[in-house]
Amino acid sequence: MATTITSVDAILVDLPTIRAHQLAMATMQQQTLVIVRLRASDGIEGIGEATTIGGLSYGEESPEGIKLAIDTYLAPALIGQDATNVHGAMARLNKVARGNRFAKSALETALLDAQGKRLGVPLATLLGGAVRDALPVLWTLASGDTARDIEEAERLLAERRHDTFKLKIGRRAVRDDVAHVAAIKRALGDRARVTVDVNQAWNEADGANGIAMLEAAGIDLIEQPIARENRVGLARLAARFVVPIMADEAVTGPEDAMELARLGAADVFALKIAKSGGIFGMLRTAAVGDAAGIALYGGTMLEGSVGTIAAAHGFCTLPQLAWGTELFGPLLLKDDVVLERPAYRDFALRLPDGPGLGLALDEDKLAHYRRDCA
């Protein structure tokens, strides 16, 4: 008899962050995760996570909307389906719901976690195997205060936790943002790479002006300087400067990747499982980047441990990952809902051992932080 999906739960979890996290579009004081628990008729449970940045301020899905979509539409479509056929289950979801990529990503993760546990293999093994067991992880300096950011970077360098630092800019005038970034680069010198993420905040003229100054200051990478829709503008900026331009919001799936590659609009793609609708969508996007000679980078939606480790299993299987990752989400959280939190050392995140994701939920923490029990 086939092993069928018997239940799917989506749980909103509100976790405190270690500090306020300032982005061009929002300041985060806490993070809301949507944790998915998918059970099958053989008694095996898989877990997944969908998490957004600043509610609805970054993307088109919110934690509350993700839960609604899963409870109302996606979970009923999965109940009774073959739990061992991940592609089959995802095809069914794509038939009943357009878009909703974050929700689908969480469900795909839960299916893969369960299947890994069922077969007794890590998720990366299900994908064909990891070509690296650790992923370089940068840290985002986002306090907004120059002296405090330098102090934080110095401490993390000394602890050998991060040697690449990303600055979230675009809130202030271009000149003020560049002064902030340049001061941090001067303080850190060749000991660290410094990158910036503008999160689409600039127009093209600001972009040209800002990137010229950032390039002169020795900044290593410029992420999504202008609106995601302005691909031709991004191509003009990419052609104009030597410092690499990374597309993030502009590249969600393989179709975007094709178009950006055709235009020569990006030197680097930021990959994220959530925006591609899951690990397989991310891998398809990566394949287009590979074919076009575009460098790859493992991005984050600031997920907790479940979503972060799901992405890590996927990123570990990529043939090239020239710009490393930003899988630091769990480090931004004061507490988490897994028994053993991911291990960060020597500037890298290690894949956990064990079947599936290699994680187990902490039932007490989950009960404490879930919104419906607060």
| Residues with a known catalytic role | 168, 326
Contact 220, 193 (CB under 8 A): yes
Residue whose CB is less far from Mg ion, 207 or 356: 207
User: What is the closest distance, in whole angstroms, from the C-beta atom of residue 210 to Mg ion in the complex?
Assistant: 16
Residue whose CB is less far from Mg ion, 220 or 248: 248
User: What is the closest distance, in whole angstroms, from the C-beta atom of residue 199 to Mg ion in the complex?
Assistant: 6
Helix pair angle (254-263, 231-240), 10° resolution: 50
**Span from 13-21, 33-41, 243-251, 304-312 in contact with Mg ion (CB under 5 A):** 243-251
Q: What is the DSSP letter of 292?
A: T
How many CB atoms are located within 10 Å of the residue 133 CB? 12
Q: Can you tell me the distance from the alpha carbon of 32 to that of 106, in angstroms, rounded to the nearest whole number?
A: 14
**Span from 8-16, 79-87, 192-200, 307-315 in contact with Mg ion (CB under 5 A):** 192-200
Q: By CB under 5 A, tell whether 248 contacts Mg ion.
A: yes
User: What is the closest distance, in whole angstroms, from the C-beta atom of residue 343 to Mg ion in the complex?
Assistant: 25
- Determine how β-strand 268-271 pairs with β-strand 245-247: parallel
**Span from 101-109, 240-248, 275-283, 361-369 in contact with Mg ion (CB under 5 A):** 240-248
Using CB under 5 A, count the residues that bind Mg ion.
2
Q: Can you tell me the distance from the alpha carbon of 224 to that of 365, in angstroms, rounded to the nearest whole number?
A: 36
For 199-215, letters b (16+ CB in 10 Å) and e give: bbbbebebbbebbebbe
**Span from 23-31, 35-43, 70-78, 241-249 in contact with Mg ion (CB under 5 A):** 241-249
Give the three-state DSSP class for 149: helix
All residues at 6 or more sequence positions from 68 whose CB lies less than 8 Å from its CB, including other chains: none
Residue whose CB is less far from Mg ion, 302 or 337: 302
Q: Can you tell me the distance from the alpha carbon of 185 to that of 194, in angstroms, rounded to the nearest whole number?
A: 6
User: What is the closest distance, in whole angstroms, from the C-beta atom of residue 16 to Mg ion in the complex?
Assistant: 23
Residue whose CB is less far from Mg ion, 248 or 267: 248
- Site residues for Mg ion, 285-344, by CB under 5 A, read none
- Site residues for Mg ion, 205-234, by CB under 5 A, read none
Contact 132, 163 (CB under 8 A): no
User: What is the closest distance, in whole angstroms, from the C-beta atom of residue 69 to Mg ion in the complex?
Assistant: 24
Residue whose CB is less far from Mg ion, 197 or 220: 197
Contact 148, 329 (CB under 8 A): no
Contact footprint for Mg ion (CB under 5 A): 197, 248
